[in-house]
């Protein structure tokens, strides 16, 4: 008898949850090689490491956490989050454009979540009808499929990059518009998730003209299909390591200034993660920030998000909400955090620059990569390429359509070795 046939207590949707996480399985291969004494390079994980191999920790955040009152560690947070933290989350999402957007009549709300993943779950759970599809780029963070599938949703895709020359660099506007129109004709909701800037797994960031084109296309679809809800979710997990961390807020404000309408059936959200920007991965602190001009709609959304959280994780962890909102409320605290954040961003930039130069020298055709933790090698047989690199004790992650290079984890002195491994692997 097959195991699944004997497990009568496991529901059919539970039976579908199989397999191991690809990233962690390749991390285990690296760890095994290193433990055996190999001079191995770890390009597998999505956490920022110092050149020493130690986890990079923002010391300003660490010191603030260690000074927090005991009650802030132990007490529940309010179900929707500490008010000061929710205000901070909105500011982290919108940056200097916050006042400008609110001055245009846009309202904002935030809900505290256990990490950016919690923010994604709130969106998956509430913005798309069960059985419908969410639009993603064809290269995207693998766990998206789990969040969506777990909420009874499907996936539609459009290409990460346009085919040939285009007026919108790094954005395939034609394919995007084709897909949103198809979804608007066949669904009651149109939702797209966009991980930008500093896309995982490629490090791609859209320039201003591409952001404006995507926003315009999405708004025009909402205007044409007034009875179809349209939600644009911006996954901002890595945005505070990008050259334009608040480019989307600036683009939205510029578009509204230029007369782009905001139809009632349009919602824009930011999924915020403090894991990377504040190096507190395990404290699971994030937020979903929502923008809409109608205050009554936002009030209803606030209730929906709070109830969803209550029925899923109860309340998000409290201590980091308290500490970070206190730290950023003081100019010197926020400035000290930013200095350390900038140091870590510079470390990433040096690694990326050296990697792209080495790939150019060795004729390794990697994808455009600008910001954040990763770079990407597009290929038809990612398992073969990753295994060929592993034979040289360079450990990367094979994903659908290519190999992810975790620049965040690779010591600067080993960067050229990764390019050399890819050159040999591609033959």
Could you say which of 317, 348, 369 is where a domain stops?
317
Helix (H) or strand (E) holding 396: none
pLDDT digits (tens, 9 = 90+) for 374-389: 999 999 999 999 999 9
* Same-domain pairing of 197 and 241: yes
- Please state, in angstroms and rounded to a whole number, the distance separating the CA atoms of residues 325 and 81: 11
259 and 116 share one domain: yes
Measure the CA–CA gap between 325 and 319, rounded to whole angstroms: 10
Neighbours of 371 (CB within 10 A): 23
- Give residue 322's pLDDT: 98
Residues 139 and 82 placed together within one structural domain of the fold: yes
- Do residue 198 and residue 249 come from a single domain? yes
In total, how many domains does the chain have?
A: 2
Burial degree of 269 (CB within 10 A; 0-12, 13-18, 19+)? buried
Question: What residues contact 295, with CB distance under 8 A and at least 6 apart?
Answer: 107
Beta bridge partners of 246: none
Do 257 and 285 fall within a single domain? yes
Give me 57's structure tokens.
């920790």
Question: In terms of domains, do 177 and 234 share one?
Answer: yes
What is the Cα–Cα distance from 323 to 375, expressed in whole angstroms?
32
Domain residues for the domain of 43 are 3-57+335-425
| Predicted pLDDT at 231 | 98
Contact 385, 392 (CB under 8 A): no
Confidence at residue 6, expressed as pLDDT on a 0 to 100 scale: 61
pTM over 0.75: yes
Two structure tokens written together for 29:
């291969």
- At a CB cut-off of 8 Å and minimum separation 6, what does 180 contact? 135, 190, 192, 217, 218, 221
User: For the residues of 322-362, what is the DSSP string, one character each?
Assistant: HHHHHHHHSHHHHHHHHHHHHHHHHHHHHHHHHHHHHHHHT
Q: How many other C-beta atoms can be found within 10 angstroms of the C-beta atom of residue 317?
A: 20
Distance of CA 23 to the CA centre of its chain: 16
The enclosing domain of 382 has a CATH number of 3.90.1150.10
Give the number of other CB atoms < 10 A from CB of residue 71. 10
Are 135 and 180 a contacting pair, CB within 8 Å?
yes
Query: Rounded to whole angstroms, how far apart are CA atoms 261 and 377?
Result: 39
Residue 49 DSSP code: B
| Domain at 300, CATH number | 3.40.640.10
pLDDT per position as a tens digit, 342-361: 999 999 999 999 999 999 99
Please say if the pLDDT value at position 306 is more than 70: yes
Largest Cα–Cα separation, the chain? 66
User: CA Rg, the chain, in Å?
Assistant: 22
Same domain, 87 and 183: yes
**In-domain check, residue 67:** no
Mean pLDDT of the chain: 96
Residue 329 within any structural domain of the chain: no
Asked if residue 328 belongs to a domain, the reply is no
Final residue of a domain: which of 317, 352, 368?
317
The strand pair at 133-137 and 154-158 is best described as parallel
Can you tell me the distance from the alpha carbon of 173 to that of 179, in angstroms, rounded to the nearest whole number? 10
221 with 299, same domain: the answer is yes
Residue 20's pLDDT is: 65
Is residue 63 included in any domain, yes or no?
no
Which element (helix H / strand E) includes 65? helix 59-66
Cα 325 from Cα 88, distance rounded (Å): 6
Phi-psi region of 13 (alpha: psi -120 to 50; beta: other; left: phi over 0): alpha
CA distance 275 to 282: 7
Task: Report yes or no: 115 and 285 within 8 Å, Cβ to Cβ.
Answer: yes
- The pLDDT value recorded for residue 5 is 60
Q: Is 203 in the same domain as 260?
A: yes
In a domain, 70, yes or no: no
326 found inside a domain: no
Residues 173 and 102 in one domain: yes
Q: Please confirm whether the linkage preceding 345 is cis (ω < 30° from 0).
A: no
At residue 235, does pLDDT exceed 90? Answer: yes
Gap between the Cα atoms of 176 and 160, Å rounded: 10
Q: Is 127:183 a contact under the CB 8 Å cutoff?
A: no
The length of the chain is 427
Contact 403, 377 (CB under 8 A): yes
Which of 108, 110, 128 has its CA nearest to residue 119? 110
Same domain? 53 vs 85: no
Burial 134-151 (b: 16+ CB within 10 A, else e): bbbbebbbeebbbbbeeb
Q: How confident is the model at residue 61 (pLDDT cuts 50, 70, 90)?
A: very high
| Residues 139 and 178 placed together within one structural domain of the fold | yes
State residue 166's pLDDT score.
79
Query: What does DSSP say about strands 107-113 and 286-292: parallel, antiparallel, or unpaired?
Result: antiparallel
In a domain, 119, yes or no: yes
Q: Domain end: 260, 282, 317, which one?
A: 317
In a domain, 51, yes or no: yes
Per-residue pLDDT reduced to its tens digit, 32-45: 999 999 999 999 99
Q: Tens digit of pLDDT for each residue in 161-197?
A: 998 867 899 999 999 999 999 999 999 999 999 999 9
**Four-residue CA torsion sign, 293, 299, 300, 303:** positive
pLDDT of 139 strictly over 60: yes
Neighbours of 37 (CB within 10 A): 7
């Amino acid at each position: 008898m097959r195991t699944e046939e004997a497990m009568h207590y496991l529901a059919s949707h539970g039976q579908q949850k199989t397999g191991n996480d690809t990233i962690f399985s390749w991390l285990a291969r690296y760890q095994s090689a290193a433990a055996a004494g190999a001079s191995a390079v770890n390009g597998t994980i999505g956490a920022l490491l110092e050149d020493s191999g130690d986890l990079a920790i923002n010391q300003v955040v660490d010191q603030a956490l260690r000074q927090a009152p005991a009650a802030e560690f132990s007490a529940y947070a309010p179900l929707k989050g500490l008010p000061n933290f929710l205000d901070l989350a909105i500011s982290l999402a919108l940056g200097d454009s916050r006042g400008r957007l609110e001055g245009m009549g846009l309202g904002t709300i935030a809900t505290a979540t256990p990490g950016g993943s919690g923010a994604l779950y709130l969106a998956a759970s509430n913005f798309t009808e069960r059985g419908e599809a969410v639009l993603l780029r064809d290269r995207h963070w693998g766990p998206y499929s789990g969040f969506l599938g777990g909420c009874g949703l499907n996936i539609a895709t459009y290409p990460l990059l346009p085919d040939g020359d285009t007026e919108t660099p790094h954005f395939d506007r034609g394919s995007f518009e084709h897909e949103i129109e198809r979804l608007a004709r066949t669904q009651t909701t149109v939702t797209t998730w966009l991980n930008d800037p500093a896309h995982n797994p490629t490090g791609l960031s859209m320039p201003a003209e591409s952001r404006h084109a995507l926003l315009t296309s999405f708004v025009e679809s909402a205007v044409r299909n007034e009875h179809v809800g349209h939600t644009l979710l911006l996954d901002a997990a890595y945005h505070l390591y990008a050259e334009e961390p608040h480019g989307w807020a600036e683009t939205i404000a510029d578009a509204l200034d230029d007369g782009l309408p905001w139809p009632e059936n349009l919602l824009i959200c930011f999924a915020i993660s403090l894991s990377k920007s504040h190096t507190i991965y395990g404290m699971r602190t994030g937020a979903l920030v929502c923008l809409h001009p109608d205050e009554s709609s936002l009030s209803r959304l606030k209730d929906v998000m709070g109830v969803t959280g209550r029925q899923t994780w109860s309340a998000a962890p409290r201590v980091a909400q308290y500490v970070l909102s206190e730290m950023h409320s003081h100019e010197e605290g926020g400035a000290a955090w930013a200095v350390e954040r900038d140091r870590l961003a510079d470390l990433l930039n040096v690694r990326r620059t050296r990697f792209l130069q080495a790939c150019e020298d060795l004729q390794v055709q990697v994808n455009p990569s600008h910001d954040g933790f990763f770079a990407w090698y597009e290929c038809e047989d990612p398992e073969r390429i990753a295994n060929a690199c592993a034979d040289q004790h360079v450990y990367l992650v094979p994903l659908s359509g290519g190999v992810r290079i975790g620049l965040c984890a690779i010591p600067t002195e080993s960067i050229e070795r990764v390019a050399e491994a890819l050159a040999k692997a591609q033959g």
